[in-house]
A and B are shown apart, each in its own frame.
Chain A
């Protein structure tokens, strides 16, 4: 599904490029829940941004649907990878329904008006995540856990085979974390989606992920089953 090939990630600022992590190789298959772990500043967010196309790789390739992902337009990427970011959103009368509806943007005409089919996809997404009751609530009035569910429902409405979540459990209490991972796991198994989750919540990832990509301080990385990665953290 997704293949990282000799991937060097980092930031370009004019002529100067700063490499954050180099020579990554990994392969994410359909239906897999991938955990991304590593210390703060090691490059997890940079890697996720590179995967969903917000920044370009310094070197190397990301192969998506047998194609170099940098060849896809914004619109084409929008139909392949959806994201849940750490940024808080709100204001502007945005309701939970509106936010989930934004997942349909890649499929709408120039005026951005929803069709009946779009509406039923949105309602369906809300229902799958179990937040139909929140639909008409303002985003500003929701708890962090509820917001996170709304963002996942947005990703569902976007109907992408790949979902990227950047530290989705950061602001959540224990029971919300459990719920969130239950939903994520379900989406992998039942809808065959590839989901990549970065998190500091190692226990959750060890319990739920199919494979873990561990970015180490010294620029090396491990990409293994959770049982094997666990050894690096128990000493």
Chain B
């Protein structure tokens, strides 16, 4: 651990805390601490703002971490859960789960319903991650893998479109809104599921720093350095599927955070140590999504903008910039 790393973490932690509170108190109704005695304000605070801010922190951190893990595993700076279709896989499975539940499992209890949706979401994410891994073993070309991922999300999107077409108007609207991504659809109950799962996975990831450092060279070198590459691959796939799945179940498919945050961290902090990179990504992911969500709230008066409009506006220029700097892509 270097002093520079510790200093950076203190700064990032401070920024996260400040933005967390800004996100809590700013919005269509600006709150202050003294308002919390008021019953209306305290309902907004505890039932809407607090779960939303927590969701922004953990969704951002998780997606950034997933992107970082996928980029290291595929040694492809353009990898991420959204661009490679993992989020789409999760979305499609959630849509299917919702349809089935609406038709046959009405009146399911809240926790069981959420758990089923989360599990469907994880399964969808897992399926796509395994497919992408298979493709990346067939071709060494990063751009091919990216294009296959984009095509895959189109295919999954088409199926989802079909389901939406057949859905009732009410279900349709909730699908469409959900598909735009949002961190405000969660209650304190959801946060209680999401936060412990995320924290547990974050902690587990820190133990993967050594194999991740080795695999940056390539898989043959990593194996020669004593790393069990198959085991690492399986672990990364399960972790990204669980995190992307859970986050997508609660927030919908959030675009570009998983792709652009790890890239930004590499450019900003200039370290190749994957332990540091992981911690940076967790904080920066939280910061980016807090900022995006606060912008969503501030830019419109009566309603919050869908978060994907903001993340896409920030994220896609990053990808275009990278495509023009081929050195960073390695092909």
* Residues in chain A within 8 A of chain B (CB atoms): 52-54, 73-79, 81-83, 85, 87, 89-95, 98-99, 102-103, 105-106, 108-113, 140, 158
Contact = CB atoms under 8 A, between A and B. Distances in A.
A98 B210 CA distance: 12
B1 A94 contact: no
A111 B206 contact: yes
A87 B220 contact: yes
Helix, strand, loop or mixed for chain A's interface? Answer: loop
Interface residues of B, number: 31
Interface string B207-228: 1011001101110110111111
A55 B138 CA distance: 18
A74 B219 CA distance: 13
A91 B326 CA distance: 11
Interface in B307-331: 327-328, 330
14 contacts: A91-B328, A92-B72, A92-B75, A92-B216, A93-B271, A94-B216, A94-B272, A95-B272, A98-B272, A105-B213, A108-B210, A110-B207, A111-B210, A113-B209
Contact of A78 (B207, B226, B275, B330): B226
A108 B213 CA distance: 11
A87 B220 CA distance: 9
Contacts of A73: 226
Interface of B: 1, 72, 75, 77, 206-207, 209-210, 213-214, 216-218, 220-221, 223-228, 266, 270-275, 327-328, 330
A197 B19 CA distance: 57
B232 to A, nearest CB: 11
Given A74-B223, A77-B226, A112-B209, 19 more contacts: A54-B224, A74-B226, A76-B226, A83-B220, A85-B220, A87-B221, A91-B216, A92-B75, A92-B77, A92-B272, A94-B216, A103-B225, A105-B214, A105-B226, A106-B226, A111-B209, A112-B274, A113-B209, A140-B327
Contact of B330 (A79, A81, A90, A109): A90
Given A81-B224, A106-B226, A113-B275, A99 B217 contact: yes
B207 A54 contact: no
Contact of B270 (A90, A93, A112): A93
Among B216, B224, B266: residue with most chain A CB under 10 A: B224
Given A91-B328, A98-B272, A111-B209, A74 B228 contact: yes
A44 B224 CA distance: 18
Given A78-B225, A105-B210, A105-B214, A92 B266 contact: yes
Contacts of A75: 226
B218 A87 contact: yes
B113 to A, nearest CB: 38
A203 B11 CA distance: 58
A106 B328 CA distance: 28
Contacts of A95: 272
**Closest 9 A-B residue pairs measured CB to CB?**
A78-B226, A112-B210, A75-B226, A105-B225, A106-B226, A93-B272, A112-B209, A98-B272, A91-B330
Given A92-B216, A93-B270, A94-B216, A105 B227 contact: yes
A90 B274 CA distance: 15
A83 B275 contact: no
B90 to A, nearest CB: 27
Contacts of B330: 90-91
Among B207, B266, B272: residue with most chain A CB under 10 A: B272
A142 B210 CA distance: 25
B225 to A, nearest CB: 4
B166 to A, nearest CB: 41
Given A91-B77, A93-B271, A112-B275, A106 B72 contact: no
A54 B229 CA distance: 11
Nearest to B71: A92
Nearest to B271: A93
B61 to A, nearest CB: 19
Given A110-B210, A111-B209, A93 B266 contact: yes
B272 A83 contact: no
A102 B217 contact: yes
A203 to B, nearest CB: 28
Contacts of B220: 54, 83, 85, 87
Nearest to A86: B220
Contacts of A90: 330
A81 B221 CA distance: 11
Contacts of B206: 111
A119 to B, nearest CB: 12
B224 A79 contact: no
A194 B209 CA distance: 31
A74 B211 CA distance: 12
A77 B221 CA distance: 12
Nearest to B140: A87
A99 to B, nearest CB: 7
Given A111-B207, A111-B209, A112-B209, A82 B224 contact: yes
B213 A102 contact: yes
B143 to A, nearest CB: 14
A157 B203 CA distance: 30
A22 B275 CA distance: 44
